[in-house]
Amino acid sequence: MKRSRVSIILASVLTGVVAASIAATPAYADPTPQVKDIVGVGSDTTEFALNYIADGRRAGVFSPGYNASASARLVSFDATGSSTVVLKAGTTAITRPNGSGAGKALLYGAGNNTNVNFARSSSSLSSAEVAAGLWQVPFAVDGLKLAVASTSNAPASISAAQMVSIYNGTFTNWSQLGGANGVIVPQIPQTGSGTRTVFLAQLQAANGGTPVTLAGSVVEVQEHDAAPIAANPNAVSPFSTGRFLTATGIKLTGGWTFQRALYNVVRTADLTKPYFTSLFAADGFICSGSAQPLIEAAGFQQLSVAADGGACGVPTQAAVTNFTVN
């Protein structure tokens, strides 16, 4: 039976402020791609998912990934780690792309790098990216909520309107929202982050369509790094509900929440290449039953294919709002 609109993972955290209890997923060492390999960079949000999709994952039994039977390997560089990466054997190192925007920037324009075959993205294409001929291929559903420290001065629930007032500086102390006394430390992901892009758009939507000018108290942090939240009882930050499952020391608040599709982004010319069909398309590995447990292990839900009422593997230049999942 296909389920639509609200993912199980997101629904599980809507019941209240649930503390993370799963140990943090260890970082992967950088891969060493060969010229024929399919190389991706970009989003911090989906890096674990693409690592599992590539190489599989053991949880009791081993679930093999795409590379178990592929002649050209899927290789995905994490968003953080060393300052540079070597995309393919024999090429010059480049600055590591950190975030959806940074990854997509290597697919077009002055930053175009032909050693990058796709970009992981947790945000939909911008008008400039659409004009440049990029296409996004949805594969999973994630949620966004506000995260605070496990021991926090924040209230249990924060509404969309209250969120706007926190980030524009109207509210500066948790006691103004029914929490304990404490100066609020609002955090936002780094420039280039897809989560930052989505969050700013949600602030604007909650502000009647007017962009929110961030208060001087807003601190820029690495996307989905739980440490600066966990270490401060006054901190608050947008956080992926999927990535929350591998975080420690934080909890999610009730109130504001948002669902989003997750994508892999390619150039127009890539849509006809064999690896696109075998990996990203509706009949490819990522939309297959074999990939479902790998995507779920990363905290997300796999979108259904069109035959089952979903959008998995269908290239688009518009934001996906069909969240029918397997």
| pLDDT higher at 30 or 293 | 293
From the DSSP assignment, how many helices (H) and strands (E) are in the chain? 10, 16
Does residue 29 carry a pLDDT above 90?
A: no
Residue 259's SS3 state is strand
Residues 200, 198: Cα–Cα separation, whole Å: 6
Q: What is the pLDDT of residue 40?
A: 98
CATH fold of the domain at 143-259: D-Maltodextrin-Binding Protein; domain 2 (3.40.190)
State the architecture of 25-141+261-308 in CATH terms: 3-Layer(aba) Sandwich (3.40)
Rounded CA-CA distance 139/153 in Å is 37
pLDDT band of 28, cuts 50, 70, 90: low
| pLDDT digits 0-9 by tens, 52-105 | 999 999 988 899 999 999 989 999 999 999 999 999 999 999 999 999 999 999
Looking at residue 60, its pLDDT comes to 84
Residue 5 has pLDDT above 80, yes or no: no
**Which residues in the chain are classed under CATH 3.40.190.10?**
25-141+261-308, 143-259
Does 267 score more than 60 pLDDT? Answer: yes
Q: Per-residue DSSP letters for 55-94?
A: H-EEESEEE--GGGS-SS-EEE--SSSSSEE--STTSPPE
Q: What pLDDT is attached to residue 59? A: 84
pTM of the model: 0.91
